[in-house]
Chains A and B, each alone.
Chain A
């Protein structure tokens, strides 16, 4: 049971209240990339269902089972990974994928943060790294730092915040991470202000 919320009157309240709700872009444009939403050019393959002749994202299970058939298709291929699915058996295959989509079934399941780090740092995966699932406003800055570059966002307040540039973010970092790796030999060694 929640205690009653205290009243809060700040300038931000008044400002946000007065602002017209921005018109959302089309609901089909779910992919946030480089500051705008766009439609998804990929479709997610369902295991055991025949693939369309367009770019698809397949599960690790399907990739392992149909590796040669999938490689023989003349279409771009993506891979989706659930939290807990290891990179071990597919480490040599990663160059086959234009996109790897890591699922966050719940925002509180943080395994994909480490998987992303390993993909970028250990395996030098250079393709698109996409966050899908429960992708929320407050996690997006952290996801960016471990190497995600696209985000499938369906949560309405998060979509609005992205469109209005209202992602509250701490822009100073105390630690090197995947995309803000400081050049060797610089000081302070563990701190980073975005350039």
Chain B
């Protein structure tokens, strides 16, 4: 993975010093909260319902054991012993004190981490496929490009006060685990006709109160032109994106209002002017960054090696975990392991300091020192030998993170909701917990089902792209939940549609169960997953089940 050199280290040190000065000025009253706000936001510091929240960048979701241990340490010393992994592959602490933030950032800098641009109207932490560099499906590891974008976008002088936040995601696999079509810019690394690497560029996707899927504005961008093209897109957006209404300020609205083709033409004109300038990526520079992401020293397995122990009793729980939570690796003899942060009835994405330390130990011992954070709020050990899977599983059982539910109905995405968030209208976490408990016994029968819950219209819980989406709203002072069906954030991206009238906190759990029952009754067989069945059947039978009895 990427390692800081002296330049990177000094950059982050200066940033910590700069923010220490800003916090001091705020504490002394030299800065008003209004003046301090954009500064703290550019350092990932939010003011929430009960306290400040600090969001720490995990660039493209990749962490070393040492970094994970530091996060555990910060959780223990500066927070209440827990960290929360987010849908942006980041980590949030919900209870830090303002005066401690500079020290937390200094501790992070020791392990090459920061909170730069995890909030604010700037280019946010770049996300990537959480199986990058490990899956056999991709044309190349997309993370070197994500790292190049991270560096280029860090404290960019021209793009620090954009109309609104700006999210970039990168993938290199045909199966899109990075949800690139619901990002401001989605980059799909591919092999071009001339044999070189390049990108399909998608622009203007996003969720929030106006969900829109991205439009592909370029199919063949050579890798050398990556940054100049991004600069052209950002400049057009910075100049012309709406600033009269924050809810219409994302690039998706600009692209939607002027049209993808005219937008692409403006970008093209600006890009032609600058493409042969200073931002042209030299091949040796790409190789230099690429070298940091070279595959680890895999060991070829002995012939006939298998995850399943040939001795001992059959162990159905272990078998289920192998089936659900491991994924084919590019290297024979290895597997990619998903560590579910969704214990039945638990808080999606939460990990205790002890769990973080234990995962760091596992990564160090069994996964070449690497952990990934997924946008589905789980963790991944990217490189585990098949022969070590039993040991990893046993260790995960010890720390209660061995739930075999990756991709199942209890693997729920949920935003922090009204339990923490100042913007929320309704709680998300208790709804996730109760749906998890309700469906746990049948989750293997149900098969792949992605449930995503947001506590307000800003859609941090990705409800628009849930197979089943839930949106918390406020109705006459009560928490109320709308139900949406048929969304997807993957390569078959689609926006979910609202079923009809919403439900109360109890009713929504029953409603999800009715949808599941209807699916189980009508599916052509266990091989027809929920989303396929919904595609075939349409919404009618589900609406019937939900609303007919009441009518």
Contacts and interface: CB of A to CB of B under 8 A. Distances in A.
A138 interface: yes
A119 B418 CA distance: 46
A132 to B, nearest CB: 16
Given A6-B98, A12-B24, A110-B238, A176 B279 contact: yes
Nearest to A83: B243
Given A2-B47, A110-B238, A115-B239, A188 B159 contact: no
B158 interface: yes
B238 A111 contact: yes
Contacts of B10: 172
A96 B25 CA distance: 42
A141 B79 CA distance: 33
A20 interface: no
Contact of B158 (A146, A166, A182): A146
Most central of B20, B157, B158, B282 by chain A CB within 10 Å: B157
Question: Interface residues of B: mostly helix, strand, loop or mixed?
Answer: helix
Contacts of B161: 107-110, 113, 139
Contacts of B282: 187, 189
Interface string A109-149: 11101110110011000000000000010110111011000
Given A114-B238, A168-B17, A184-B278, A142 B157 contact: yes
Q: How many A residues are at the interface, by size bracket?
A: 35 or more
Given A2-B47, A176-B279, A113 B157 contact: yes
B155 interface: yes
Given A138-B39, A171-B14, A190-B279, A13 B160 contact: no
A93 interface: no
A111 B239 contact: yes
Contacts, number: 138
B14 A170 contact: yes
Interface in B456-487: none
A165 interface: no
Contact of A114 (B11, B17, B98, B158): B158
A51 interface: no
A76 interface: no
A153 to B, nearest CB: 14
A66 interface: no
A3 B159 contact: no
A121 B279 CA distance: 13
Contact of B51 (A3, A110, A188): A3
B30 interface: yes
Nearest to B32: A157
8 contacts: A2-B33, A2-B47, A7-B99, A108-B161, A117-B158, A174-B156, A175-B153, A190-B151
Interface of A: 2-3, 5-8, 10, 12-13, 16, 83-84, 107-111, 113-115, 117-118, 121-122, 136, 138-139, 141-143, 145-146, 157, 166, 168-177, 181-182, 184, 187-191, 193
Given A113-B157, A117-B235, A189-B282, 18 more contacts: A2-B33, A3-B47, A3-B52, A6-B98, A8-B27, A110-B158, A113-B159, A142-B158, A157-B30, A168-B21, A170-B11, A171-B14, A172-B11, A174-B151, A174-B154, A175-B151, A175-B279, A193-B7
5 tightest Cβ-Cβ pairs between the two chains A and B: A110-B161, A6-B99, A168-B21, A145-B157, A142-B157
